[in-house]
């Protein structure tokens, strides 16, 4: 029987990307629910045929349920999946939604936006983590204004940003959140910049985009094994 992931997507320009392609190459089927199109997000995986859950990123905040009502069932889906010990991966907003759902706090980062490629700074716990072990120092794409300010009870910090905020968390035995975007190619990153600068990129934007483009192969070589490790959690 094929392994299957339920993927919650929040925006058209933040797709499963590289992660989705790598998982499909491994024989993992993706069932993508697009909340922004009004597709209903289930509150539990039972009955969906999925073996695990992935919650992607988006520009909205983790507490913006009033404006984006599918965030509420997404949080319940995360809570239920973590409680049941199912494989869960939250990416950027997904990481923040999981943190809020499990009792943490998310808000604007007091030190400002993180954008571009940032090395993964593993903690001691992260060095022994089944998903992140050996990836310390690997470059990862970031594009976020919000961060986890208070870690959920019982969660483990696996990596930290330069300002000390969580860069990766483990919420349970098979549940993780990463503040970065292992799924994002330079092309997708460029789309995000252009969406914010419809009248043309500024010099600083071009420099950041060039750094992401220069890291293309390093990003792929780091995060393809990460995708494979998460897929192994579905067995």
Q: Which residues are catalytic?
A: 92, 181, 183
DSSP string computed for the chain: ---EEEEEE-STTS-SHHHHHHHHHTT-EEEEEEGGGTPPPPSSSTTTT-SEEEE---SS-TT-TTTSTTHHHHHHHHHHHHHTT--EEEETHHHHHHHHHTT-EEEE-TT--EEEEEE--B-HHHHT-TTTTT-TT-EEEEEESEEEEEPPTT-EEEEE-TTS-EEEEEEETTEEEESS-TT--HHHHHHHHHHH-TT---HHHHHHHHHHHHTHHHHHHHHHHHHHHHHHTT-
Please name which of 140, 138, 94, 136 lies closest in space to residue 114, comparing C-alpha atoms: 140
**How distant, in Å, are the alpha carbons of 51, 90, 166 from that of 126?**
24, 16, 11
């Amino acid at each position: 029987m094929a392994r299957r992931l339920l993927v919650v997507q929040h925006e058209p320009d933040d797709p499963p990307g590289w992660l989705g392609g790598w998982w499909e190459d491994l024989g993992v089927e993706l069932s993508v629910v697009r909340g922004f199109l009004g597709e209903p997000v289930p509150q539990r995986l039972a009955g969906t045929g999925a073996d695990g859950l992935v919650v992607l990123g988006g520009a909205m905040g983790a507490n913006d349920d009033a404006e984006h009502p599918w965030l509420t069932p997404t949080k319940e889906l995360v809570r239920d999946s973590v409680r049941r010990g199912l494989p869960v991966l939250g990416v950027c907003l997904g990481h923040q939604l999981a943190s809020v759902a499990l009792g943490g706090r998310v808000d604007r980062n007091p030190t400002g936006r993180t954008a571009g490629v940032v090395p993964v700074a593993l903690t001691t716990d992260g060095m022994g983590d089944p998903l992140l072990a050996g990836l310390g120092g690997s470059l990862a794409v970031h594009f976020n204004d919000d961060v986890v300010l208070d870690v959920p009870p019982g969660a483990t910090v696996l990596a930290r940003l330069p300002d000390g905020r969580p860069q990766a968390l483990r919420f349970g035995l098979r549940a993780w959140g990463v503040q970065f975007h292992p799924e994002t190619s330079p092309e997708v990153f460029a789309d995000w910049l252009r969406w914010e600068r419809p009248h043309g990129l500024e010099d600083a934007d071009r420099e950041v985009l060039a750094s992401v483009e220069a890291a293309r192969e390093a990003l792929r070589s780091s995060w393809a094994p990460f995708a494979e490790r998460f897929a192994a959690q579905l067995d």
